[in-house]
Each structure stands twice: as C-alpha cells, then as structure tokens.
Amino acid sequence: MQTFADLGLRPEILAALNSIGFETPTPIQQEAIPKLLVGERDLIGLAQTGTGKTAAFGLPLLDAIEDDFYQVQALVLCPTRELCLQITSDLEKFSANMKSVTTLAVYGGAPIYNQIKALSRGAQVVIGTPGRVLDLVKRGKLDLSHLQTLVLDEADEMLNMGFKDDLDAILSTANEERKTWLFSATISPEIARIARNYMNDPEETATAAKNSSSANITHQVCTVHAKDKYEAVRRILDAHPDIFGIIFCRTKIETQDIADKLIRDGYNSDALHGDLNQNQRDVVMRRYRDKSLQVLVATDVAARGLDVKEVTHVIHYQLPDDPEVYVHRSGRTGRAGSTGVSIALAHMRDGRKLREIERLIKKPFDQIDLPSGKEVVAARARFWVQQVLNSESNPESLQELWPIVDEGLAELDKTELLHRVAGLALQQFVNEYEKAADLNHRGHDRDRGRDRDDRGDRGDRERRGSGEFAVFKLSLGAKDRINKGSLMKEINRMRGIKGIEIGKIRIHEDHTMIELDKQRSSEAFQAFKRWKYFGRKVFVDQMDGKETADRSFTDRPPRSKGKKNFNKNR
C-alpha cells in the first residue's frame, strides 16, 4: 500500500502529515501529487468534494515554496468564504513545520484593510475568493508577477456562481510563467475554454468516477407530501437521537424558516446561508464543529468547504436540479473511513431526478418508510437505556446529594423506580407520537413513476385532491414586499385550507398568480376573501380553466371570469 512517504514530499511536510494522522493517500492524491511534484505541464484534476483534493494540490504547492522568498508564490482561488477558510486551515496544518512559510486567506465579507495590512507583512501562499482577489489586484496590493502556482479549486462552481469575468481578469494578470492547476467535478465548455486560453498543454487526471459516491454512504429516499416535509424531518431527528447532521435546503428563506422551526420545537439547530454576516457565519460554524449544534440547516453555496468530521446524516429537504449538487451534499458524510446516511425527501414527481442521481452515483436508492410513532418512541427508549448504561455509576460531584436521594426514594422498589425515571425521560415522546399519522406517501410506487414525465403523479386523491390546480390572481405583488415563502406561510395559516397543495407561484409587480388544489378551490376562494395582509384587504379572482392557467404565468395579463376586477375596486 502506497504511503505519503513514497510520493517524494519534503521531510517537514511528511512530519506534519504524520502528526495529524495522514498515512495513506486517497486516489486523487496518488494520481495528482507525483505529477505536480515533477511535471512541467499544467494539470486538470477531476474529483468530487470529499475525495481529498485539498491535499492533492496543497502538498505539492507547499513543496515548491521557496522559504526565503517572501513574495506571493502561490494563489488558490475557490468559490466561497467557507471553502477559503477550510483550505487555509488545511494548508496551515500541512506547513506546520515550515516555519518561514506564511499563508493568508482573503475573502469578501471581512474588512479589506486588515487583509491589505497582512499582505504588506508578506505571504507566500494566498487563498481567496475571486471577487476579493481581483479587488486587491486592482488596488495594487496583491502582486501576482512572481506567482509560481495558480490553483482553481471547484472551478465549475466558481463559473456557476458568476465569477467568469473575475477569473479571466485574474488569469490574464498573473505571471505567464506560472503553473496552473484546475480542479473540478465536471468539464464544462467554460472549463475547456479556460484550459485552452490560460493553461499550458494541461494533463488530465480523472478520479471522479471512482469517487462520485463514497462506498461508505447509504443513499435512502422516502416519498412524502410537500406539506409533511417538516414533520418528516422531525420524525427522522427523533428516531435518531444521536444524529449529527446537515439539512440541505434550496433557498435562504427556506433554510432560515426550517432552522427557526427546529429551534422553536426544541432541537439544537441553526442556519447557515448567504444572508448571514461573516461574524454570524463564524459563530455558527464554530458551534457546529465543536458539536454544540446537533443539526445544521444550510444552502448548497453556504456549505461549500464545510469539512466537518463524523457527520452521520445528510437530509435533502428538496432534491437539487443538478445531480452533481446531490453528490456534493451527500459527500459531507461518510468521510475519513466513517459511514454515513444520505436521506432524500422526495415527491412522486421527483422520479426523473432520482434516476439521474442513481446513474451518477452508480447505485440505487434504498426506498425507506419514515418511522411510525411507535418506532420513534422505541428508538428514544433504547437511546435512553444506552445513556444510562454509559453514565458514571457514582460521580463524585453528586456524593453530597445521595443521602437526600436515598431517603426520598427509599419506599420505591427497583422496578417502580426505574419505570418512574424512564417515564420522566420518555413521556413527552409518548404524548407526541401516541396518535402520530403515517407520513409516507403510498399513492404509487417508484416503478410506476418511472413511466411518467417530470410532473409525476399528484395522486393519493384522499389527501392531496384531484391532482389538478385552480389558478387565483391576488392583488399583492412585488411592490408589496411579498415573496413565495411568506405567501406559502400565510396560506398555511388560513383556517380551512391549511396544508392545501400549492402548485406554481408567479409574483409580478402588482399582482400574484398562484395554483391551488382544484378540489378545494371554493374553500380557498372564501379564505382569500377573508384574508387581510398586514391590515390591508386582499382582492382575489379565480381564473378560467387550464388554458387560461397556462397563459396566466406569462407576462400577458390573464382573462378573469369574476364579475369584479380587483384593479377597479381597490
């Protein structure tokens, strides 16, 4: 078995790796490090998140640093602040015995003048986000004329986030004699363009296929109604009391909303998304890394660079449109030889996405049911018993209290005492789950769903209605500062239609078009007529059939069948 000592790295780097327990290189490290240590050609490395690519480029990057030359010799570009800080932390560990090597992280959201001051003191290795790096270059504070190595980490994600122009500007400014190493999960046309324009006869090393889905990760899917997703999350958390996990959401609004609900319901949780300032993000990440938080609710972008060991579960509140994003998400668990579980909460209409993901990860999802109420309570009881068995039998800190406890409980026999203590610990779960509903969607199995298009079947008539939608036009729009999240919350608060199936929502400047379950359209119409948004009456029209509904989601004004036009009666 190959070790890091076999790769030809400097002794001080090997000593640092030994001290942090790095012994055997991962596939991408075995492929890339020897080539980067001795090769004159540039390199394109294909590897997913969680495969060890930071060390794959970081170790040869440090190996090439000239200790007594205090100009910027290496620049690592990455898409997010979190990834920037993670790479910086890793490089500092790898260079712990290289006393004259200085690394510096530069990123947006932090005071630029502190970073300028740090640059003036000298740094051989700079790790940064494209926007802040380009700002420092334009100000003349970051000199790339002596650059020996330029690394583009997660290049595909940087391009997806709109950094194309920034990357072009940085690449065209940096020393032309440099080596350029590009690491990406995929090779897109834009990646190919960068290679063609800015790289010197690049060599490729591809381990993405080997690492597209860790063998240590179990991929599970359960099918639930949209209105039951939050309760499904709670059911999973309660059935796994020792969970240390991440819940991925699509939007910042949804992320904060789910985190707020979990906190309100007593779960040790917090949110990580782009609307947090740097200090808030640092606090959340510090609490999660030291396990003061049990569950982190995050957006995909905010979680880039999140490298936390021992994550047991990743929960996908919404499936991403891009299968690669699913791989990035699930790669947060099952690291460093540990096992992990990735659970997708899916709709029936997600069949196509699930099949695309299965093709990418080269394994099928395990179809699971959410645990029943009885199963949750049984899991909590087993967890409580294990806690009792693992606790200290006679902690010294309680010695003075034992006489009080012994005297007060002397009349209880062992069995009754145990049952009373267990009841105190478990009664809340018994009360909550005694009449718990079955949250699993059993309308159709996945095999039948394979023959349908991406809309899927909106079946289970009893709970979700006809599968058809009625279209409503509301006298609220963007100018009223309403958004999809706030509108859905308002609807779910309305008496009589709470939990109604919601279809498309289109918010225009002065009105909103929304699809609601057609079977409950009369109830919805009456609920809207009684609704006031921050004290203001909301006017509503129900639109004509399917043809009008389709037209209503364009910029053309739809035709109303109502006798009144709310624009004339406001």
**CATH fit for domain 4-211, picks 3.40.50.2300, 3.40.50.1480, 3.30.420.40, 3.40.50.300:** 3.40.50.300
Class of the CATH-defined domain 465-568? alpha beta
pLDDT of 380 reads 84
Does pLDDT of 325 surpass 90?
Answer: no
DSSP string, 223-240: EB-GGGHHHHHHHHHHH-
SS (H, E, C) 345-362: EECHHHHHHHHHHHHHHC
The residue type of 473 is: K
Query: What is the average pLDDT across 491-505?
Result: 78
Percent of the chain at pLDDT above 90? Answer: 30
Candidate ranges 61-75, 321-335, 448-462; pick with highest mean pLDDT: 61-75
On whether the CB atoms of residues 354 and 346 are closer than 8 A, the answer is yes
Going by the DSSP 8-state scheme, the letter that residue 487 receives in this structure is H
Structure tokens at 456: 């899927």
Lowest-confidence region among 111-120, 336-345, 422-431, 554-563: 554-563
Strands, E, within 177-229: which ranges?
179-184, 203-206, 217-223
Rg over alpha carbons for the chain, rounded to the nearest Å, is 28
Domain edges within the chain: 4-211, 217-370, 374-433, 465-568
Which pLDDT band, with edges at 50, 70 and 90, does 1 fall under?
Answer: low
The residue type of 245 is: G
Does pLDDT of 549 surpass 60?
Answer: no
Which pLDDT band, with edges at 50, 70 and 90, does 161 fall under?
Answer: confident
Q: What is the pLDDT of residues 400-433, one digit of tens each?
A: 887 888 888 888 888 887 888 887 878 877 777 7
Query: What is the average pLDDT across 347-371?
Result: 88
Strands, E, within 335-431: which ranges?
340-346, 366-367
CATH homologous superfamily of domain 217-370? P-loop containing nucleotide triphosphate hydrolases (3.40.50.300)
Q: What is the pLDDT of residues 96-107, one digit of tens each?
A: 999 889 999 999
Euclidean distance between CA atoms 315 and 269, whole angstroms: 14
Q: CB 355: neighbour CB atoms within 10 A?
A: 16
Query: What is the average pLDDT across 171-196?
Result: 87
On whether the CB atoms of residues 487 and 505 are closer than 8 A, the answer is yes
Dihedrals φ, ψ of 212, to 5°? -60, -30
Sequence-distant (≥ 6) Cβ neighbours of residue 528 within 8 angstroms: 472, 474, 538, 540
Q: CB 416: neighbour CB atoms within 10 A?
A: 11
Query: What is the average pLDDT across 320-346?
Result: 85
Instruction: Answer with the residue of higher pLDDT: 163 or 394.
Output: 163
pLDDT of 466 reads 45
On whether the CB atoms of residues 70 and 92 are closer than 8 A, the answer is no
On whether the CB atoms of residues 316 and 329 are closer than 8 A, the answer is yes
Per-chain mean pLDDT for the chain: 82
Identify the CA nearest to 147 among candidates 40, 35, 43, 61: 61
Query: What is the average pLDDT across 491-508?
Result: 79
Percent of the chain at pLDDT above 70? Answer: 87
Query: What is the average pLDDT across 103-113?
Result: 91
Instruction: Answer with the residue of higher pLDDT: 60 or 560.
Output: 60
Q: Which helix (H) or strand (E) holds 14?
A: helix 11-19
pLDDT of 137 reads 95
Does pLDDT of 444 surpass 80?
Answer: no
3-state secondary structure of 177: coil
Sequence-distant (≥ 6) Cβ neighbours of residue 485 within 8 angstroms: 251, 253, 254, 257
Q: Do domains 4-211 and 217-370 have the same CATH topology?
A: yes
pLDDT of 397 reads 78
pLDDT of 467 reads 54
Does pLDDT of 445 surpass 80?
Answer: no
On whether the CB atoms of residues 136 and 116 are closer than 8 A, the answer is yes
